[in-house]
Amino acid sequence: MPELPEVEHVKRQLHQLIRTPRRVVSLEFFRKDLRFPLSPSLKKKVAGREIVGIERRAKYLLFKFSDGWLLSHLGMTGAWREIKPGETKILHDHVRLNFTDGLSLIFNDPRRFGFIDWVDEEARNSHVRLKHLGPEPLETDFQAEDLFKKLRKRTAPIKAMIMDQRIVVGVGNIYASEALFRAGIRPTRAAGKVTLSECEKLVQAIRAILTEAIESGGSTIRTYRSADGSEGSYQTRFFVYERDGEPCLKCRDSRNSRAKISSKIIGGRSTYWCPRCQA
């Protein structure tokens, strides 16, 4: 479900809901594992302590405490929402975070590809889930030249490369296709054949697409809901994602006809592109 824009939007909404600093009273688990076993010591780490901020790194949410972070990944179907007093929990509610003044948040995740964990203050850059992450696409250290160097000699398709969180974080299956369309690069191209000037276009395209998607509250195509239950709207602005067989919204040939969007599985995921606009 969530790529960088969705996680960023959830982060901003959680910030509105929690209004840090806010003290946690307890953390409850309604099952013993999500993607990984839920560590019982996590409860002790957060009970009675204050959340002083909420951050995002890649597709991870980080609830900041004075000596570390509660790390949350939404996987494909994970969602945080507020649960009001007296409300009963529903199917796939797995974790509940209670605050001293009655606010409660629930983590719901049907497929359980998401998880939560604790990160010690000093382990921020060495934690298993965080240490291999590449640059944040919206920060200044995401640069075309660095990207170009990382891609040299790589034979995997460029689309698989930009979804690799070691190369750049936050780009998932939707925004990979959309960004490559914006940059005019065919997703099937070997990454090592992408030129420096194309890398410049790609960096700009990734930045632009993710920024626009954040402003739209992300994309809701199946299940994604943000923390207040609302849907994103960026799905109305897709040029290629899930538009296979439909006319390209950008190109026109001399007879005024539009190319049909192609699709194919790349890196195990459905991928979409315009055969005329993308070289």
Partner DNA sequence: CCTTGAACCTGCGGGC
Partner DNA sequence: TGCCCGCAGGTTCAAG
Q: Report yes or no: 118 and 39 within 8 Å, Cβ to Cβ.
A: yes
| Among 82, 123, 249, 267, contact with DNA (rule: CB under 7 A) | 267
Site string for DNA, 53-82 (x = CB under 7 A): -----xx-------------x-xx------
| Among 37, 41, 84, 91, contact with DNA (rule: CB under 7 A) | 91
Say whether residue 247 binds DNA (CB under 7 A): no
Instruction: Kindly tell me which of 68 and 75 has the beta carbon lying closer to DNA.
Output: 75
The catalytic residue among 11, 59, 159, 201 is: 59
| Among 43, 89, 124, 154, contact with DNA (rule: CB under 7 A) | 154
Tokens standing for 25? 């009273």
Strand 68-73 relative to strand 53-57, pairing: unpaired
Instruction: Kindly tell me which of 70 and 191 has the beta carbon lying closer to DNA.
Output: 191
3 is known as an active-site residue: yes
Nearest one of 168, 137, 141, 183 to 8, comparing CA atoms: 137
Say whether residue 217 binds DNA (CB under 7 A): no
Give the range of 10-18, 119-127, 137-145, 148-156 binding DNA by CB under 7 A.
148-156
H/E element holding 55?
A: strand 53-57
The total number of residues shown for the chain amounts to 279
2 is known as an active-site residue: yes
The catalytic residue among 3, 8, 178, 198 is: 3
269 is known as an active-site residue: yes
Query: Taking the complex as a whole, how short is the minimal distance between the CB of residue 75 and DNA, in angstroms?
Result: 5
Say whether residue 110 binds DNA (CB under 7 A): yes
Instruction: Kindly tell me which of 103 and 117 has the beta carbon lying closer to DNA.
Output: 117
Report angle CA 10, 52, 47 to the nearest 5 degrees.
95
Q: Report yes or no: 185 and 277 within 8 Å, Cβ to Cβ.
A: no
Phi then psi for residue 263, to 5 deg, are -150, 155
Query: Taking the complex as a whole, how short is the minimal distance between the CB of residue 248 and DNA, in angstroms?
Result: 19
How far apart (Å, rounded) are the C-alpha atoms in residues 190 and 93? 42
Say whether residue 165 binds DNA (CB under 7 A): yes
| Among 107, 224, 239, 273, contact with DNA (rule: CB under 7 A) | 224
Phi then psi for residue 64, to 5 deg, are -85, 130
Q: Cα dihedral sign for 69, 70, 71, 72?
A: negative
Nearest one of 121, 147, 149, 120 to 134, comparing CA atoms: 147
Say whether residue 29 binds DNA (CB under 7 A): no
243 is known as an active-site residue: no
Nearest one of 218, 242, 241 to 231, comparing CA atoms: 218
CA distances from 150 to 134, 138, 158, 187 (A): 11, 18, 11, 17
Q: Report yes or no: 238 and 250 within 8 Å, Cβ to Cβ.
A: no
| Among 125, 140, 155, 236, contact with DNA (rule: CB under 7 A) | 155
Query: Taking the complex as a whole, how short is the minimal distance between the CB of residue 276 and DNA, in angstroms?
Result: 22
Say whether residue 222 binds DNA (CB under 7 A): yes
Residues that bind DNA (CB under 7 A): 1-3, 6, 35, 58-59, 73, 75-76, 91-92, 110-113, 128-129, 154-157, 160, 163, 165, 172-174, 191, 218-224, 267-270
Active site residues: 2-3, 59, 269
